[in-house]
Structure 1
Amino acid sequence: MPTGRQTVERRQLGLMLRRLRDRAGRTQQQAARAIGRDTARISQVETAKGSFSTDELKTLLDFYEVTEDERQTVLELGAQARKRQRGRTYTDQLPRSFERLADLQADAKAIGFYEAGVVPGLAQSADYIRAVIESGDGVWWDSSEQEVESRIAFRLEQQRRVLEADEPKDVALVLTEAAVDQNVGSASVLRGQVLHLLQLGERSNVTVQVLPSSVRNNPLLGGGLITLDFGDAAPRIAFVSVLYGSGIYHDQAEDTGPMFRAFERVRDLALDEEPTRDLLIDKLKDFKR
C-alpha cells in the first residue's frame, strides 16, 4: 500500500481505526495477526503513514466487530486515503464528521479555537451545551430526545479527551464579546457559562481571551477556525467550521501558514488574560441585575 505524506484522510482513518481497536479491547499485535501482517504495519496506518487494502480493512472491521454505519465510513475513508492525488483541501462529506474532528483534536498537541457569536465547544459549560444543542433539535436533525442526549454526551466526552488528557495540551480559546453577550438558554445558563470560562482560564495549559466588539481589523470576522498542531508527529491542520454541512480541512503549508497567522492575529487583537478576566467578571455583574 502507498506510504507518504500524512494527509487529513489518512490521519482520520488511522485515528478512527485506533479508536475502534481500543473500543474492541484489541492490541496492535492481535490486529496484525488478524490480517496476517506485522505490528509495525498496524502502527504505520494508525499514525497516517500508510493505508490498508479494502480486504484488510474488511477483515479488521470484522475483528473489531464494527457496526454497519461505521463500517461503511471506514471503507470510504480507506478509499480516499489510498488516493495519490487530490486537491489542496479536503472536505469531509462522510456521516458524523464531528467524530473525526474530535479524534484530531484529541491527537493534537496544541489547539487554537476561534468562534464568532458562540462560545467554542471546548469551553462550553454543561448547561450551555444543552441549550445550544436543544436549539438545533428538529432543525438540523429530526426532533429526537435520544439524539439530543447523545450529542450532549459526546461533547462532554470530547472536552474530557482534550482538557483532561494525560499529556496536557496547549489550548488557546478566543471568543468574541458578542458570544458572551448572546442570549443562550437563560440568564442562569449565561452566568454559569461565564463562571466556567473563568475556571478554564485558571488552568495552566488553557488560555481564554475575549475579542471586544470595538476591535477593528479582525481577519476572521464572521468566521470560525480551529488550528491543530501535532508537533513533529504530523503536519499542521486548519479546519474551517461551518454552520451546516461538510467541514473543510487544510493541510498544505501554503494554506495552513496564512490560517495559523490569522489565528495569531486575533489572539494579538483580543484582550490579554487578565483584562479578559476583568471583562468576564463585569459580565457576571450584569447577569445579576
Structure 2
Amino acid sequence: MGHARPTFERRQLGLVLRRLRERSGMTQQAGAEAVGKVRSRIVQLEDGTATASEEDLRTLLDCYAVTGDERTTVLELGAQARRRQKRRVHVDNLPDAYRRFADLEASASEINCFETGIIPGLLQSEGYIQALFAEAEGPWHEVDDVERGDRWSFRVDRQMRMLDETDRRIMRFVVTEDALRANMGAPEVMRQQLDHMLALLDKQRDLNIRVLRTDAYGNPLRGFGLTIFAFGERGAPIGYSSPVLGPSTYYDGESETTAMLRAFYRLWELALSREESRRLIQQIAKE
C-alpha cells in the first residue's frame, strides 16, 4: 500500500472495504495483521488515501470472508483505484451500485438533494416505498422478483442509519409540490407519507425540507434530479445524477460540483422556507 491522493475510485474502494470489514466483525488491527502492515495503513486505505496491491486486497477479502460476485466487484474496484486517472465523470457499471451510493451517503457530512416528481428516498415512508415497488413491477422488475425483500430491507436500514436523532450531519432536501400531491396507489399512502415527513422535521433539527411550488419560475433543474455530497476537510464534494435506467454517474471535478451546487442553491432560494413548507405539507395532508 502506498500513500495516494484520495481520488473518487480510492474513496469508493475504501468505503466498501470499511463496510465489508464491519460486516465481518473484524477490527482494523486484524486487517492490518493479515496483510503485515500497521493499523494506520488500513485507516488510510479506508479513508481513500492509500492504495492496495491486488495481493493485499485479496488477503483482506479472505480476512473479511468476501466471496463470489461481491469479491469480483471489489477486485475490479481495486484495479480502478490503482490506475492514474484525471478528474472526470465517473460511471459506476459494476454490480450493486446502490450499495456504493449508500456508502458515500453515509460518509458525507452534508447532503443536498433535489428530486422532481418523487419524494427522495431518505424521506419515504414504508407505505410509499411499497407503492413505488408496485409501480416498478413489470417494466423494471418481475412481479415475483426474489430480490424485492433485499431492496426493501436495504432501504429501511439505510433510513435508520441516516436518520438517527443523534446524527449531526446537515441534510437539505428540495421536494416539488407535485410529488406531495402524487397518486401513490391510495390516498392513505400519501397521507402517511406527508405525516412521516412532518414527523421527521419534528425529530431532526439538522434536517431541512423545502417545497418548490408548482408555479415557481426559474428552476434550472427542471426535469432533472441531483445529489451533492460534501465531506468537509476529508475530501472534495461529489455530485450524483439520478438515472432512470443505466449506470450511476458521479462528478468530482471542481467545475462540475460547483455548477451543481449553484443550481441547487438557486432552487433553495426559490423554494418555500422550512416553516412555509411545513404548513403546505400540513395543508395538503388535510385535503
Normalised to the residue count of structure 1, the TM-score between the two structures is 0.95
Q: Indicate whether 1:246 and 2:247 are aligned.
A: yes
Contact 2:87 2:253 in 1 (8 A): no
Contact 1:200 1:208 in 2 (8 A): no
Contact 2:172 2:209 in 1 (8 A): yes
Q: Alignment partner of 1:201: what SS?
A: helix
| Deviation per residue, 1:140-179 (Å, 9 max, x gap) | 2333353222111101111111111754211111110111
* Number of residues of Structure 1 aligned to a counterpart in Structure 2: 286
- Please report how far the alpha carbon of residue 234 of structure 1 lies from its aligned counterpart in structure 2 after TM superposition: 1.2
Partner letter of residue 36 of structure 1?
G
- Please report how far the alpha carbon of residue 185 of structure 1 lies from its aligned counterpart in structure 2 after TM superposition: 2.2
CA distance in 2, matches of 1:86, 1:136: 37
Contact 1:125 1:192 in 2 (8 A): yes
Q: Alignment partner of 2:113: what SS?
A: strand
CA distance in 2, matches of 1:129, 1:172: 20
CA distance in 1, matches of 2:226, 2:12: 18
Match of 1:224 in 2: 225
Contact 1:2 1:82 in 2 (8 A): no
CA distance in 2, matches of 1:166, 1:275: 25
| Deviation per residue, 1:192-224 (Å, 9 max, x gap) | 001111112222110011100100110111111
| Deviation per residue, 1:67-105 (Å, 9 max, x gap) | 311101101110111111245110111111010000111
CA distance in 1, matches of 2:142, 2:78: 30
CA distance in 2, matches of 1:118, 1:218: 16
- Please report how far the alpha carbon of residue 4 of structure 1 lies from its aligned counterpart in structure 2 after TM superposition: 3.1
Q: Alignment partner of 1:196: what SS?
A: helix
Partner letter of residue 110 of structure 2?
A
Contact 2:87 2:252 in 1 (8 A): no
CA distance in 1, matches of 2:3, 2:199: 44
Contact 1:28 1:42 in 2 (8 A): yes
Match of 1:197 in 2: 197
Match of 2:159 in 1: 159
Contact 1:133 1:151 in 2 (8 A): no
Match of 2:53 in 1: 53
- Please report how far the alpha carbon of residue 274 of structure 1 lies from its aligned counterpart in structure 2 after TM superposition: 1.2
Q: What does 1:92-107 align with in structure 2 at a 5 Å threshold?
A: 92-107=92-107
Match of 1:18 in 2: 18
CA distance in 1, matches of 2:11, 2:218: 34
Q: Alignment partner of 1:232: what SS?
A: helix
Percent identity of paired positions between Structure 1 and Structure 2: 42
Structure 2, unpaired ranges of 5+: none
CA distance in 1, matches of 2:207, 2:146: 32
Structure 1, unpaired ranges of 5+: none
Contact 1:138 1:144 in 2 (8 A): no
Q: Indicate whether 1:72 and 2:75 are aligned.
A: no
CA distance in 2, matches of 1:56, 1:18: 15
Q: Alignment partner of 2:259: what SS?
A: helix
CA distance in 2, matches of 1:46, 1:124: 30
Match of 1:237 in 2: 238
CA distance in 2, matches of 1:85, 1:282: 51
Normalised to the residue count of structure 2, the TM-score between the two structures is 0.96
Match of 1:132 in 2: 132
Question: Which stretch of structure 1 is more off in the superposition, 138-147 or 66-75?
Answer: 138-147
CA distance in 2, matches of 1:255, 1:228: 13
Contact 1:176 1:210 in 2 (8 A): yes
